[in-house]
């Protein structure tokens, strides 16, 4: 005989429809691993089968919302708790006799205005500083300003009424409102930043025949009972939840580019009559092409300098290079799984560091003609004349770096502070052709915010004021303590290695 609980249908008494317009703040890639027929790129965008418009699968949106809500309630890397209700919204992860279906229905989001461009990437060998063999790839991206229509529907039952589910839904959707949720490929390298500026909410009491008919007609288009607001808590009429269990480091630094230039080559020319090499440009939300520094470029130079700093400290303490330096770098910036034949020898893990794509404000692109010199004869090489268009800085040029680290250790903060110092003083250039003086920054202003559950939020503000950079004596000592712990961590690695032997 069939157990009666399998015949039990959900007694849905009310449905709440939430819609919003999601706008991309930076380029984004949403793909399914397949390449469209006739495409000449390695990775193409996923598109709707019927009209060919780019789309964001509902599964992508659901996964991002669930992950954001879990991290906000429990912290980075923590498991869900059954008593927190995440499973009520998104369904239980493990299929058991007591498992429940998701009460939140999430539709695929179709783009209604968009612009497509192309990006390329390459994996760099950290040992020799050049591209790895067969590690070049290119892909389609949706430019900033592309818009998608989001549609959610929440079913309310006697077991899970509005006062139980709406605060959770509002907390999850606040991630889109604040821009903390990112979607698609390379989210931790500046891609997929997005925001929802306004929400629209319609409620339908299914116990009322008139409202039931209104929902049955066209719930996504019926605005007779809709509430519009820029804040989701106002649109849903719930109290804002300030719960945030995440431990994080946020570093925002503003640099100048005066008396210098920068060149990060774009793999796709802007026009047929453009120079041989042009700096990478991307569209902003208004459709204007602006010079940018991608998150991959920031991460590449920061990771390389972090390895150099750690190795320098290790050499001064006679710490074997095999341990613990690679462990420090890999746990901070992520690691790819190693392959031996067809078998994976180790599992990779994601980067703890997230860096935004940066717009170069008030920069000027200027053409420059250069020639390659034959070192033997001292004359110009044949067919070696080329043109390039780097971005030159002025007194008003500004470059802002936004860096975020999940669950930072104190010694990791110390390492990143040393890297900030090198960027601040111009010792760490970014981009190509650094040997001819390009990419050197000058620090103007920085803010270091450290949030931990065990301590209150600490914020340090750095300015151009020398010699203390506007820091109090206490702030200097606190920041120095993070650097000291980096030395202690590497020293401990040396001692543990010696004990193991």
* pLDDT confidence of residue 339: 53
pLDDT at 277 over 90: no
Query: Is a pLDDT exceeding 60 seen at residue 467?
Result: yes
Longest dimension (CA), the chain: 94
3-state secondary structure of 46: coil
Which stretches of 46-101 are assigned E, i.e. beta strand? Answer: 55-56
Cα–Cα distances in Å, from 47 out to 23, 32, 234? 17, 9, 34
Measured CA to CA, the distance from residue 404 to residue 406 in angstroms comes to: 7
Tokens of 201: 């909410």
Per residue in 62-84, pLDDT (tens digit) is: 999 999 999 998 888 888 766 55
C-alpha distances in Å from residue 182, one per residue of 35, 169, 189, 470: 23, 17, 10, 34
Q: What is the mean pLDDT of residues 80-103?
A: 73
- Tell me what the mean pLDDT of segment 277-286 comes to: 88
Asked whether the beta carbons of 127 and 135 are under 8 A apart, the reply is no
Percent pLDDT > 90 in the chain is: 44
The per-residue pLDDT for 136 is 78
pLDDT at 167: 92
**DSSP state at residue 336:** P
Residue 228 phi, psi dihedral angles, 5° rounding? -110, 140
Return all residues near 120 (Cβ < 8 A) that are at least 6 apart.
136, 137, 138, 139, 267, 268
**Strand bridging mode 358-361 / 380-389:** unpaired
Pair type for strands 109-113 and 116-124: unpaired
Of 65-69, 136-140, 296-300, the range with the lowest mean pLDDT is 136-140
Q: What's the per-residue H, E or C state across 380-444?
A: EEEEEEEEEECEEECCCCEEEEEEEEECCCHHHHHHHHHHHHHHHCCCCCCCCCHHHCCCCCEEE
Sole residue written with tokens 């975020």: 404
Give the predicted TM-score (pTM) of the model: 0.86
Q: How confident is the model at residue 412 (pLDDT cuts 50, 70, 90)?
A: very high
**pLDDT at position 102 over 50:** yes
Domain boundaries, the chain: 11-236, 248-500
Q: How far is 216 from 30, CA to CA, in rounded Å?
A: 32
**Encoded tokens for 435:** 């040997």
The per-residue pLDDT of the chain, averaged, comes to 84
- Residue 454: which pLDDT band, with cuts at 50, 70 and 90? low
Give the least confident one: 39-48, 270-279, 287-296, 389-398.
Answer: 270-279
CA distance linking residue 487 with residue 315, whole number of Å = 12
Least confident piece of the model among 176-180, 195-199, 476-480, 493-497: 493-497
Q: Give the relative orientation of helices 295-316 and 473-500 as an angle to the nearest 10 degrees.
A: 70
Neighbours of 40 (CB within 10 A): 8
d(CA 104, CA 164): 13
Q: Minimal CA–CA distance to 392: which of 439, 344, 448?
A: 439
User: Which residues are CB-neighbours of 393 under 8 A, at least 6 positions away?
Assistant: 256, 257, 258, 259, 260, 261, 262, 360, 363
320: Cβ contacts below 8 Å, ≥ 6 apart: 314, 494, 497
What is the DSSP secondary-structure string of 234-271?
A: HHHT-PPP------EEEEEEEEE-BT-EE--B-SS-SS
pLDDT band of residue 341 (cuts 50, 70, 90) is: very low
Q: Note the pLDDT of residue 126.
A: 63
Handedness of CA 421, 427, 433, 437 (dihedral sign): positive
Res 345 pLDDT > 60: no
- How distant, in Å, are the alpha carbons of 109, 159, 237, 239, 403 from that of 163? 27, 11, 10, 10, 36
Strands across the sheet with 364-365, in order?
261-262, 391-392, 364-365
pLDDT tens readout for residues 380-407: 888 888 888 899 999 999 999 999 999 9
Phi-psi bin for 362: left (phi > 0), alpha (psi -120 to 50), beta?
left
* 246: pLDDT strictly greater than 70: yes
Burial grade of 219 (CB within 10 A; 0-12, 13-18, 19 or more): middle
CA-CA distance, 119 to 265, in Å (whole number)?
Answer: 11
Which of 390, 366, 393 shows the shortest CA–CA distance to 257? Answer: 393
């Amino acid at each position: 005989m069939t157990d009666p609980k399998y015949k039990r249908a959900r007694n849905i008494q009310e449905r709440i429809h939430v819609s919003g317009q999601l706008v991309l703040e930076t380029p984004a890639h949403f793909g399914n691993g397949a390449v469209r027929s006739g495409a000449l790129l390695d990775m193409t965008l996923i598109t709707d089968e019927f009209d060919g418009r780019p789309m964001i699968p509902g599964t992508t949106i659901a996964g991002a919302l669930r992950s954001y809500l879990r991290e906000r309630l429990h912290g980075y890397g923590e498991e869900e708790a059954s008593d927190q209700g995440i499973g009520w919204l998104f369904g239980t992860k493990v299929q058991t006799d007591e498992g429940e279906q998701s009460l939140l229905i999430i539709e695929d989001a179709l783009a209604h205005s968009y612009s497509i461009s192309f990006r390329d990437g390459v994996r760099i060998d950290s040992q020799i500083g050049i591209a790895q063999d067969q590690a070049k790839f290119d892909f389609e991206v949706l430019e900033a300003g592309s818009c998608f229509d989001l549609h959610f529907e929440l079913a309310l039952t006697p077991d899970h009424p509005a006062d139980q589910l709406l605060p959770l839904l509002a907390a999850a959707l606040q991630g889109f409102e604040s821009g903390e949720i990112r979607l698609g490929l390379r989210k931790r390298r500046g891609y997929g930043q997005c925001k929802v500026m306004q929400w629209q909410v319609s409620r339908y009491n299914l116990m009322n025949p008139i409202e039931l008919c209104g929902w049955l007609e066209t719930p996504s288009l019926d605005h007779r009972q809709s509430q519009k607001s820029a804040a989701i808590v106002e649109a849903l009429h719930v109290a804002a939840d300030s719960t945030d269990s995440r431990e994080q480091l946020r570093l925002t630094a503003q640099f100048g580019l005066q008396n210098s230039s920068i060149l990060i080559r774009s793999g796709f020319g802007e026009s047929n009559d453009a120079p041989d090499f042009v700096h990478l440009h991307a569209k902003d939300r208004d459709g204007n092409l602006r010079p940018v520094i991608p998150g991959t470029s920031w991460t590449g130079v920061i990771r390389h300098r972090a390895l150099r700093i750690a190795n320098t400290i290790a050499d001064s303490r006679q710490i074997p290079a095999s341990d613990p330096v690679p462990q420090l770098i890999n746990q901070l910036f992520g690691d790819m799984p190693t392959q031996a034949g067809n078998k994976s020898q180790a599992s990779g893990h994601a980067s703890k560091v997230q860096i935004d794509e940066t717009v170069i404000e008030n920069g000027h692109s200027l053409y420059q003609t250069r020639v390659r010199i034959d070192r033997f004869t001292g004359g110009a090489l044949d067919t070696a004349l080329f043109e390039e268009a780097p971005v030159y800085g002025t007194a008003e040029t500004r470059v802002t770096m936004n860096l975020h680290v999940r669950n930072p250790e104190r010694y990791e903060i110390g390492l990143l502070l040393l890297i900030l110092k090198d960027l601040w003083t111009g010792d760490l250039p970014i981009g190509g052709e650094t040997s001819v003086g390009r990419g050197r920054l000058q620090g103007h202003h920085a803010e270091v915010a450290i949030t931990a559950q065990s301590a209150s939020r600490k914020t340090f503000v750095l300015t151009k004021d020398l010699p203390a950079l506007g820091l109090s004596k206490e702030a200097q000592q606190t920041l120095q303590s993070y650097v000291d712990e980096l030395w202690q961590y590497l020293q401990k690695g040396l001692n543990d290695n010696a004990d193991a032997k």
